[in-house]
């Protein structure tokens, strides 16, 4: 090891106060700004109201008099099974996605956006609030790919309608790409879209009188579940994390 590299190992990374709070899992980066400006945050015993104030792991940071510590960021990819809710805890006592992931007791992660209980496939989970907030926000228009199985063969006009756009109660929903998945029946369709609206795929098909029997998200932002069985999870690779962060 050279002297130069030895020197670099002594550098302590600094970051804006609001980002530090978000990475501690307290709240999103945007909400952290509000906490700071409202005077709820202290650094080394003094109230700091500037979100961009630089802090390191050597600082003592308290939010509402609670000492916090920046967590090591965790990024997980899951192949979500059917019958599991995408919440941290469920008021009805149903099994949640976090129950399927083994982490050290003190660490907590949260789903990025939601898949409804009957939808399977790609789901990201993290303790990085800023990362989660950006990927889940509709304005980011993350590319998502779904395999849809409906209750009967689809009629050709429906495929055209999905591409032209369907007027729903909260605006027009448009599929970027739609095609039939080869097979003995004509009831399996692959749909690519950017919309982040709630239950958007199911609602698009329901609007045309078509019942979705199975819905599987095969890709999110280019990240696939290849190699993962239902219910399995793994850490995202460095390359995958960097790819997703380029979106924002």
Q: Evaluate whether residue 2 is within a structural domain.
A: no
Instruction: Looking at the structure, tell me whether residues 148 and 129 fall in a common domain.
Output: no
Query: Which residue from 30, 47, 29 is spatially nearest to 38, judged by alpha carbons?
Result: 47
Question: Which of 68, 86, 112 is at the close of a domain?
Answer: 68
Instruction: Looking at the structure, tell me whether residues 164 and 192 fall in a common domain.
Output: yes
- Helix, strand or coil for residue 45? coil
Q: Evaluate whether residue 87 is within a structural domain.
A: yes
Average pLDDT, stretch 141-154?
A: 95
Distances (CA, A) of 193 to 31, 59, 147, 227: 29, 43, 12, 23
Lowest mean pLDDT among 35-39, 49-53, 136-140: 136-140
Q: Evaluate whether residue 49 is within a structural domain.
A: yes
Q: Evaluate whether residue 85 is within a structural domain.
A: yes
Encoding tokens for residue 86? Answer: 């995408």
Query: Which residue from 136, 128, 126 is spatially nearest to 23, judged by alpha carbons?
Result: 128
Average pLDDT, stretch 10-31?
A: 78
Between 138 and 66, name the one with better pLDDT: 66
Q: Is the pLDDT of residue 136 over 70?
A: yes
Between 170 and 145, name the one with better pLDDT: 145
**Pairing status of strand 188-193 against strand 144-150:** antiparallel
Average pLDDT, stretch 11-15?
A: 62
Instruction: Looking at the structure, tell me whether residues 215 and 232 fall in a common domain.
Output: no
Q: Is the pLDDT of residue 134 over 90?
A: no
**Model's pTM, two decimal places?**
0.76
Encoding tokens for residue 111? Answer: 């789903």
Q: Evaluate whether residue 48 is within a structural domain.
A: yes
Write out the E strands in the chain. Answer: 15-16, 41-43, 46-47, 54-55, 61-63, 66-68, 75-80, 110-111, 119-126, 144-150, 166-168, 171-173, 177-180, 188-193, 212-220, 223-224, 233-235
Question: Which CATH number covers residue 21?
Answer: 3.10.290.10
**Pairing status of strand 212-220 against strand 119-126:** parallel
Strand partners, 101: none
Instruction: Looking at the structure, tell me whether residues 123 and 166 fall in a common domain.
Output: no
Distances (CA, A) of 174 to 24, 155, 171: 37, 18, 10
Per-residue confidence (pLDDT) for residue 4, from 0 to 100: 34
> Is residue 68 within 8 Å of residue 62, measured between CB atoms?
yes
Q: Evaluate whether residue 7 is within a structural domain.
A: no
* Cα–Cα distance, 160 to 236 (Å, whole number): 36
| pLDDT tens digits along 184-215 | 999 999 999 998 888 999 999 999 999 999 99
Q: Is 116 noted as a catalytic residue in this protein?
A: yes
Q: Give the domain extent around 176.
A: 143-220
| pLDDT tens digits along 77-92 | 999 999 999 987 777 8
Q: What percent of the chain has pLDDT over 90?
A: 64
Per-residue confidence (pLDDT) for residue 106, from 0 to 100: 60
Q: Is the pLDDT of residue 5 over 60?
A: no
| pLDDT tens digits along 68-126 | 877 788 999 999 999 999 987 777 888 999 999 887 656 778 899 889 999 999 999 99
Number of domains in the chain: 3
Q: Evaluate whether residue 6 is within a structural domain.
A: no
Gap between the terminal Cα atoms of the chain: 36
Q: Which residues contact 234 (CB under 8 A, 6 or more apart)?
A: 76, 77, 228
Instruction: Looking at the structure, tell me whether residues 168 and 207 fall in a common domain.
Output: yes
Per-residue confidence (pLDDT) for residue 49, from 0 to 100: 97
Point out the catalytic residue in the list 116, 153, 160, 170.
116
Question: Which CATH number covers residue 191?
Answer: 3.30.2350.10
Q: Is the pLDDT of residue 245 over 80?
A: yes
* Cα–Cα distance, 168 to 31 (Å, whole number): 31
Strand partners, 190: 147, 179
Per-residue confidence (pLDDT) for residue 1, from 0 to 100: 35
Instruction: Looking at the structure, tell me whether residues 157 and 212 fall in a common domain.
Output: yes
């Amino acid at each position: 090891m050279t002297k130069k590299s030895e020197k670099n190992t002594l550098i302590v990374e600094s970051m804006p106060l609001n980002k530090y709070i978000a990475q501690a899992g307290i709240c999103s980066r945007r909400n952290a700004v509000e906490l700071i400006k409202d005077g709820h945050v202290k650094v080394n015993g003094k109230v700091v109201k500037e979100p961009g104030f630089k802090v390191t792991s050597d600082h003592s940071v308290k939010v509402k008099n609670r000492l916090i510590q920046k967590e090591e960021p965790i990024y997980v990819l899951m192949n979500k099974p059917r019958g599991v809710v995408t919440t941290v805890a469920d008021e009805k006592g149903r099994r949640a996605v976090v129950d399927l992931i083994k982490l050290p007791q003190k660490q907590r992660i949260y789903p990025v956006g939601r898949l409804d209980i009957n939808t399977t496939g790609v789901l990201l989970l993290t303790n990085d609030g800023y990362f989660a907030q950006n990927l889940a926000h509709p304005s980011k228009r993350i590319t998502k790919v779904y395999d849809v199985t409906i209750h009967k063969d689809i009629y050709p006009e429906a495929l055209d309608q999905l591409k032209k756009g369907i007027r729903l109660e909260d605006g027009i929903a448009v599929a970027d790409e739609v095609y039939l998945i080869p097979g003995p029946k004509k009831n399996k369709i692959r749909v690519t879209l950017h919309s982040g609206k709630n239950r958007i795929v199911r609602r698009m098909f329901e609007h045309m009188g078509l019942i979705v029997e199975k819905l599987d998200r095969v890709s999110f932002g280019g990240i696939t579940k290849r190699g993962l069985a239902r219910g399995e999870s793994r850490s995202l690779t460095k390359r995958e994390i960097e790819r997703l962060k380029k979106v924002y």
